[in-house]
Amino acid sequence: MGVLYLILILLHLHLLGAARDITFPPVSGYAQQPVFDQGEIDVSTGSAFLGLTTYANLPYVHCLAGKGEEVEKYDIAILGAPFDTGVTARPGARFGPRGIRQGSQRIVPEDAWNIYTGDNVFFDWAKIVDCGDAPLTFLDNTVALKQLDASHKIVSGRPGNSSDYPTPRIITLGGDHTTTLSALRSIYTHFGEVSVIHFDSHLDTWDPKVLAGGGISHYAGVNHGTFLHIAHEEGLIRNTSVHAGIRAPMVRPRGDLKNDVRCGFDIVKAREIDRVGVNGIIQKLKKRVGESPVYISVDIDVLDPAFAPATGTAEVGGWSTRELLSILDGLSGLRVVGADVVAPVYDNVGETTVLAAAEVVQSLLVLMVETPVAKR
Ligand X SMILES: *[C@@H]1O[C@H](CO)[C@@H](O)[C@H](O)[C@H]1NC(C)=O
Q: What does the binding site for ligand X look like in residue numbers (CB under 6 A)? A: 127, 161, 239-240
DSSP category for residue 270:
T
> Which residues ranging from 8 to 67 are in contact with Mn ion (CB under 5 A)?
none
Partner in contact with 240, chosen from ligand X, Mn ion, none, beta carbon below 5 to 8 Å by kind? ligand X
Closest distance to Mn ion from the beta carbon of 193 (Å)? 21
Query: How far apart (Å, rounded) are the C-alpha atoms in residues 11 and 75?
Result: 63
**Which of residues 193, 299, 304, 340 is near Mn ion by CB under 5 A?**
299
> Is residue 304 a known part of a binding site?
no
Nearest to 267 by CA among 252, 253, 251, 281: 281
> Is residue 200 a known part of a binding site?
yes
Query: How far apart (Å, rounded) are the C-alpha atoms in residues 248 and 280?
Result: 21
Query: How far apart (Å, rounded) are the C-alpha atoms in residues 181 and 184?
Result: 5
Partner in contact with 299, chosen from Mn ion, ligand X, none, beta carbon below 5 to 8 Å by kind? Mn ion
The nearer residue to ligand X, 54 or 353, going by C-beta atoms, is 54
> Is residue 130 a known part of a binding site?
no
C-alpha radius of gyration, the chain, whole number: 24
The nearer residue to ligand X, 28 or 239, going by C-beta atoms, is 239
Closest distance to Mn ion from the beta carbon of 203 (Å)? 9
> Is residue 111 a known part of a binding site?
no
State the alpha helices, DSSP H only, in 299-340. Answer: 321-330
Nearest to 161 by CA among 231, 74, 257: 74
Query: How far apart (Å, rounded) are the C-alpha atoms in residues 367 and 191?
Result: 17
The nearer residue to ligand X, 240 or 326, going by C-beta atoms, is 240
The nearer residue to Mn ion, 78 or 343, going by C-beta atoms, is 343
* Strands 241-246 and 293-299, bridge-based pairing: unpaired
Partner in contact with 200, chosen from Mn ion, ligand X, none, beta carbon below 5 to 8 Å by kind? Mn ion
> Is residue 177 a known part of a binding site?
yes
The nearer residue to Mn ion, 74 or 199, going by C-beta atoms, is 199
* Strands 76-81 and 335-342, bridge-based pairing: unpaired
Nearest to 206 by CA among 264, 239, 250: 250
> Which residues ranging from 154 to 213 are in contact with Mn ion (CB under 5 A)?
177, 200, 204
Binding-site sequence positions: 177, 200, 202, 204, 299, 301
